[in-house]
Every structure is written in structure tokens, then in C-alpha cells.
Amino acid sequence: MQVSDPKRLSVPPDYPYQNVVDIVSRSDEMLAGEDYAHYLDVGLSALANVALALKGRTSPASILDMPCGHGRVTRALKAAFPDSALFVSDIDSDSVDFCARTFGAHGLASQPDFRTLDFGRRFDLIWVGSLITHLPADVIKDFFRFVLRHLTEGGVAVVSMHGSYVAGRIVASLLQGGEAYGVDNVAGWRMVDGFFASGFGYANYPTTDLSVQRYGVALATGRWTCKTVRRCGGEIVFYQEHAWDRHHDVLAFARPSGDRQQ
């Protein structure tokens, strides 16, 4: 076997989408310890949140998965919505190229500054798995505005965030002198203090190259996240605690009807 040979997932016979693409990138960091069953479940959990957000809406003609990574959720979206036009975006070009090639998606390059990012079209469904979980508050606001600019009227965004459940896990680790999702103990406590004082806390990873973008761990209460979306012009569809993979909170929001936002 060549090192460049693709890895293949073993899809259990009871997996509801037997049409799921089983090719996995060797660079997919989300396939920790080769736990294929959990990897596939994370995709199904994303679909369950998407289904709730789409209730009462027409099936999406266009879907954006951003950040796509190496397609952990893209493959589930492709399997569940085979007739939708699928778009993928990430700041990592290898991820975008892999997903475009493997899932027949349209690849779109992202960048650190969402204020000037323009894909030149809108989407009926935007899935955002684990991006704002890594961003500081001002960048999250820019990202929410970016999403609202890219939603069709009647479209919906489904976005994961670290909420109170993750805050509890982090506090438990810090109390034992441990780290916080990759952030060291001192910076972790500063982040947790921010979370309890204002509803939002953030710390860069020690390895973050700040000349590229600020990137680390963000924690927010549901109240902070919903208030921030509303201030950016969005309408909350739902907020559910630890609803993605029993881990991240999930927020769904839309453009208010009649909104003429550009």
C-alpha cells in the first residue's frame, strides 16, 4: 500500500445513509484514534440539528459547509442532500481541495478577515461546525455578519459553539492543574473568568501564529451568543445546549423576513 492511498471508513450496515462517501483524507485531524463509528456519528448529529433548523422550510437548493475541514460533516450533508448544490470553504486549501474533489463540491477559499470576505452568492443552509469555538468576540461578530450577508431569504445558519457544558469541563480540568482544550492553565483561568464575568471568554492557543489570525478557544453563554446574533441583525431559530455530539451548543439563526441587508 502506498502512503498516498486513501483511507476508507468502514460504514456499519445500520448507518442510515449507505450512500455516504467512505474515502477519508490522511490529513483529517478529526478522525482521532481511527474511531470510525464516532466520526460517522458526529455527521449524523450535525444532520439532526440541521433537520430541526429546516423544519417548515423547503429543502435547501444550496448548502455551504464552513469550515469544512476534511469533510467530517460534508460527507453527511452530501449523503442526506444529494441533489443540493454543495459548497465548501476553509482557510486550509488542502481541506477545500480534498472536499471539492471527494464530495463533488464547489470549493471556496476563506481568509481571516470576514469583513471583506464575499462569495458572490447566497446559500439556503450554512453549517458551521467548530469555527466560532476558536475565535475572539470581535471576529465572531464579523463572522455572524458575513453569514447573514450570505443567507438567502428563508435560509438558515446552524452554528456550533462552546457553551456552559464545555465551560464545566474546562473548569474541572483547570481545578486539577490541567489545561483547557489546548490552552495552558493560566490563560485558561483568564478565559473562564471572562466567561463568568461577561458571558464570553477567549484565549489564544500557545502555538497560534498571531501574524495570520487570532485562533484559540472561545467560551460563551447561550445568552451572550443569542444577544450577539440579534445585535448583528439575525433572528434566532433555536439554541440548544450540548446538542452537537453531546458536546457543542448549537445555534440556528436566519435573516429576518423582509430584511434587505446586502
Ligand X SMILES: C[S@@+](CC[C@H](N)C(=O)[O-])C[C@H]1O[C@@H](n2cnc3c(N)ncnc32)[C@H](O)[C@@H]1O
The site for ligand X (CB under 6 A) is made up of 30, 66-67, 69, 72-73, 89-92, 95, 110, 112, 129-131, 213
**C-beta of 134: minimal distance to ligand X in Å?**
6
**C-beta of 156: minimal distance to ligand X in Å?**
17
Q: Which residue number, 112 or 256, has a Cβ lying nearer to ligand X?
A: 112
Which residues contact residue 26 at a Cβ distance below 8 angstroms, ignoring those fewer than 6 apart?
A: 3, 4, 6, 7
Buried b / exposed e along 230-248 (16+ C-beta atoms within 10 A)? eebebeebbbeebbbbebb
**C-beta of 90: minimal distance to ligand X in Å?**
4
- Measure the CA–CA gap between 148 and 145, rounded to whole angstroms: 5
From 119, 129, 115, 106, select the one nearest 150 (Cα to Cα).
119
**C-beta of 153: minimal distance to ligand X in Å?**
25
Task: State the distance between the two ends of the chain, measured CA to CA, in whole angstroms.
Answer: 51
Beta bridge partners of 109: 90
Determine the residue with CB nearest ligand X. 69
Q: Which residue number, 59 or 111, has a Cβ lying nearer to ligand X?
A: 111
Q: Which residue number, 181 or 189, has a Cβ lying nearer to ligand X?
A: 181
From 7, 3, 2, select the one nearest 28 (Cα to Cα).
7
Q: How many CB atoms are closer than 10 A to CB 207?
A: 8
**C-beta of 256: minimal distance to ligand X in Å?**
25
**C-beta of 233: minimal distance to ligand X in Å?**
21
CA 158 to chain centre: 8
Please identify which residue in the block is written with the cell numbers 464579523: 142
Q: Which residue number, 49 or 110, has a Cβ lying nearer to ligand X?
A: 110
Q: Which residue number, 91 or 226, has a Cβ lying nearer to ligand X?
A: 91
- Measure the CA–CA gap between 37 and 23, rounded to whole angstroms: 14
